[in-house]
């Protein structure tokens, strides 16, 4: 099964570029940029990754970004992930990035997007990995800040496929960003939002993303299973759900294999993703292998999950046909 999973050409739709920062690169960049890290070795850094919920993860995730300063740093980070993706037989990626986490530290939007986009272009020719970018707004910052960043992105619009919403969900409902997402849609961008597992008001958040924001996809969204009405809506709209098993394990102590099977049985469109693979110590293949071991998924079910990634992607119809 492991070899079968490794050999399948795959797509990944839910991976945060900042969540791919490996400790070794972190140390190299810290030395280059004169940044002091809390840990003395990569092993010590990994040993401190003891998250048990979303906020405890986010604290470490944001602290880790302090080593990313120049355009070349963002290039190296992105090239490292896309190289890893190629090794995992991932042929297509939709990659999240969090500009506000960098502009708030004095790194310009131009620096961030230029480095990431240069790697994206190089990966297409050098690695045969196709990649599109999703600008993510931090939901624990204001809607005004999100709108300012959307405006900052306007000159770079041809480099983006969509916008997303991530970070701490508590007291930050989707509707806080209604105007920002409406504007993004007017600009021709696709829309997605995180509805992390077991957050406060999760069903109301899922309802808002489907009915009010009218997203094109939902990130995580596992709690949808508690509402027949929402499942019917998601099915009718063929909404992809980008589930992240190993990430879920940190929050709900389960890879949510049962929930993923239930989604398949209901005719929903779940697909499997790594979220923050460096912090959770599992890239896409490791997520699929762990999921298969926990849930006993058949080869056909695994193929369906991988096909769902392409179906739920924001490739053109011709692009999808090329891979499916
Ligand atoms: N930012 C990076 N990973 C995230 C996640 N799983 N949930 C919310 N925000 C995130
Ligand atoms: Zn995520």
Q: What is the pLDDT of residues 64-89, one digit of tens each?
A: 999 999 999 999 999 999 999 999 99
* CA 220 to ligand 1: nearest atom: 6
- 8 A C-beta contact, residue 184 and residue 191: yes
Mean of the per-residue pLDDT values for the chain?
97
Least confident of 48-62, 86-100, 185-199, 264-278: 48-62
**Which residues on adjacent β-strands are paired with residue 164?**
136
Q: What is the pLDDT of residue 191?
A: 99
Whole-number Å distance, alpha carbon 87 to ligand 1 midpoint, is: 24
Ramachandran angles phi, psi of 242, nearest 5°? -90, 90
Q: Is 95 helix (H, G, I), strand (E, B) or coil?
A: strand
Q: Ligand 1 mean position to 321 CA, how many Å? A: 30
State the ligand closest to the CA atom of 62.
1
pLDDT value, residue 52: 85
For a ligand 1 pocket test, name from 49, 57, 279 the mutation site with the most ligand atoms within 8 angstroms of its C-beta.
57
- 273, 282, 276, 266: which is closest to 305 by C-alpha? 273
Ligand found nearest the CA of 275: 2
Report the percentage of the chain scoring pLDDT > 70: 100
CA–centroid distance, residue 105 to ligand 2 (Å)? 21
Query: What is the C-alpha to C-alpha distance for residues 255 and 38, in angstroms, rounded to an integer?
Result: 30
Q: Which of 51, 54, 195 to mutate to test the pocket of ligand 1 (most atoms within 8 A of CB)?
A: 54
User: Which DSSP helix (H) or strand (E) runs through 13?
Assistant: strand 10-16
Question: Which ligand sits nearest to residue 219's alpha carbon?
Answer: 2
Q: 210: which 2 tokens?
A: 């489907």
Distance of alpha carbon 248 from the chain centroid: 13
For the stretch 207-254, pLDDT in tens is: 999 999 999 999 999 999 999 999 999 999 999 999 999 999 988 899
Q: Which residues of 17-129 form beta strands (DSSP E)?
A: 90-97
- With beta carbons less than 8 A apart as the criterion, state whether 54 and 169 touch: yes
Give me the domains of the chain, ranges plus CATH numbers.
2-323 (3.20.20.140)
């Amino acid at each position: 099964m492991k070899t079968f999973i490794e050999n399948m050409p795959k797509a990944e739709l839910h991976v945060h570029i900042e969540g791919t920062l490996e400790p070794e690169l972190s140390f190299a960049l810290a030395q280059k940029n004169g940044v002091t890290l809390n840990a003395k070795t990569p092993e010590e850094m990994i040993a401190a990754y003891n998250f048990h919920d979303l906020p405890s993860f986010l604290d470490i995730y944001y602290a880790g970004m302090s080593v990313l300063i120049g355009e070349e740093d963002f290039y190296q980070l992105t090239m490292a992930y896309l190289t890893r993706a190629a090794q995992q037989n991932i042929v297509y990626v939709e990659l999240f990035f969090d500009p506000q986490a960098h502009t708030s530290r004095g790194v310009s939007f131009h620096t961030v997007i230029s480095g990431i986009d240069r790697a994206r272009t190089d990966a297409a020719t050098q690695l045969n990995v196709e990649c599109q970018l999703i600008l993510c707004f931090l939901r624990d910052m204001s809607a005004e800040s999100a709108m300012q960043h959307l405006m900052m992105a306007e000159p770079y619009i041809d480099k983006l496929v969509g916008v997303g919403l991530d970070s701490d969900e508590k007291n930050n409902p989707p509707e806080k960003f209604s105007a920002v997402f409406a504007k993004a849609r007017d600009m021709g961008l696709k829309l997605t939002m995180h509805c992390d597992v077991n957050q406060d008001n999760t069903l109301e958040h899922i309802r808002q993303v489907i009915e009010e924001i009218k997203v094109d996809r939902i990130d995580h969204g596992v709690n949808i299973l508690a509402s027949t009405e929402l499942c019917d809506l998601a099915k009718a709209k063929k909404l992809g759900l980008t589930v992240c098993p190993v990430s879920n394990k940190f929050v709900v102590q389960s890879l949510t294999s049962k929930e993923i099977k239930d989604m398949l049985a209901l005719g929903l469109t779940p697909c499997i993703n790594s979220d923050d693979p460096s912090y959770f110590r599992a890239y896409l293949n490791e997520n699929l292998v762990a999921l298969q071991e926990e849930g006993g998924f058949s080869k056909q079910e695994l193929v369906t999950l991988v096909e769902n990634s392409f179906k739920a992607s924001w490739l053109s119809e011709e692009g999808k046909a090329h891979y499916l």
